Amino acid sequence: MDLMRRSLLAGVVGLLVGAGCSLVLDTRPHCATDADCLPSQRCTGVVCVPRDEVDGGCGEADADLCARKGRACGPLAATDLCGVERTVPSCGGCASPLTCGGGGLPGVCGTPGCSSENNADFCTRLLANCDIVTALDNCSVGRSVNCGSCTLPETCGGGGRPNFCGCAVETDAQFCQRRQKTCGPVTAPDTCGVSRTVSCGTCTFPLECDGGACAPCVPEDDARFCTTQGKNCGTVSGTDNCGTARTANCGACGCPQTCQNAVCTTPDCLGAGAACTCAGQCCNGNCVGNTCCKGNGVTAGCGPNPAGTACVCDQCCSGCSRANQCVASSTCPGGAPACTP
């Protein structure tokens, strides 16, 4: 029989070749489902072909489609990752005494008489909310369920707990590196969206931290230099913030202060009769004609100046003056007595 078939096939081939036809034999493996093909192939229903020839490489194997849809048995009609409506003849079988859908859920092996929990309840009971979870359900049947996905910045297991959405907190070093900061305190949201303040390091003197980066030192101005040195008058020499020796004029003091060791100092007040340049130098706050007067305007040690003599600070015998000129005692309020040397 085989010999007859071969002879017949040879005759047909000979006729085709004689008629000028070229004959190409299809050597691809025959198949009924994807399970008959290699993982890199899909079954067209007749032969196995590379996946990228039929779906651009975006398709998934029947087993992957079944797993993604939470089916472990029976047929499945669903849309694959390429958006193509497909029918999988069988997602698998169940071991006795389990039956497909026996627990009340289509495509899931279950125990007849036991009401299997749905996928959402399965995931909730196992405290899982992402990726494929394989475990026993409430009917003690092994199941693999897709419990969902996470929203960035969270990832599945990112917080250290499997099959649970969480965010992997970056270290301080990673935080600073991502922000391109090398010094100073930096406050910003981390990869989990939480505001943090992190010390990103220090700079080697004389470099200074400027905006989170070490930069050349900017010399302080004279006013800041004087303040840093604790001085406020005269000429001051010292080392500035950049480590450079310099000399600066730190200003002058206002009367009655004087500059002592580059610091403005208030001296003891001057008594009546002492020479003065401002009222603040006199104990009674009265400086007239560069002389400290008594509290009533009379200068200590004034000589007996007769009426009509020019005077300062009531230096008159009458004890009073008007318009910087001595007057007779009879014209003074209360008839001031004659002065005594």
Break the chain into its structural domains and give their ranges: 29-93, 98-168, 222-265, 302-341
Top pLDDT among 18 and 185 is at 185
- What pLDDT is attached to residue 296? 45
- What pLDDT is attached to residue 141? 85
Q: Which residue has the tokens 């003074």?
A: 332
- What pLDDT is attached to residue 270? 87
Nearest Cα neighbor of 298 from 266, 255, 340 is 340
Reading the block at residue 211, the tokens are 């905006």
Top pLDDT among 208 and 285 is at 208
Residue 54 scores a pLDDT above 80: no
Top pLDDT among 108 and 130 is at 130
Top pLDDT among 303 and 96 is at 96
pLDDT band at 236 (very low <50, low <70, confident <90, very high): very high
The DSSP code sequence of 226-286 is HHHHT--SSEEEEE-TTS-EEEEE---PPTT-EEETTEEEPPPPB-TT-B-SSGGGBTTS-
Report the pLDDT averaged over residues 65-72.
88
Q: What's the DSSP call for residue 299?
A: P
pLDDT band at 209 (very low <50, low <70, confident <90, very high): very high
- What pLDDT is attached to residue 292? 79
- What pLDDT is attached to residue 303? 46
Hey, what amino acid is at 170?
Answer: E
CA 86, CA 250: separation in Å to the nearest integer? 88
Residue 329 scores a pLDDT above 80: no
Residue 156 scores a pLDDT above 90: yes
Residue 242 scores a pLDDT above 60: yes
| Mean of all residue pLDDT scores within the chain | 80
CA 301, CA 316: separation in Å to the nearest integer? 11
- What pLDDT is attached to residue 88? 92
pLDDT > 90 in the chain, percent: 42
Residue 144 scores a pLDDT above 70: yes
Reading the block at residue 108, the tokens are 């899931």
CA 234, CA 223: separation in Å to the nearest integer? 12
pLDDT > 70 in the chain, percent: 75
Residue 239 scores a pLDDT above 90: yes
- Residues 160 and 166 sit within 8 Å (Cβ to Cβ): yes
- What pLDDT is attached to residue 179? 94
CA-angle at 249, arms to 244 and 255, nearest 5°: 150
Report the pLDDT averaged over residues 321-339.
47
**How far from 121 is each of 74, 124, 237, 241, 253, CA to CA, in Å?**
22, 5, 80, 67, 84
pTM exceeding 0.85: no
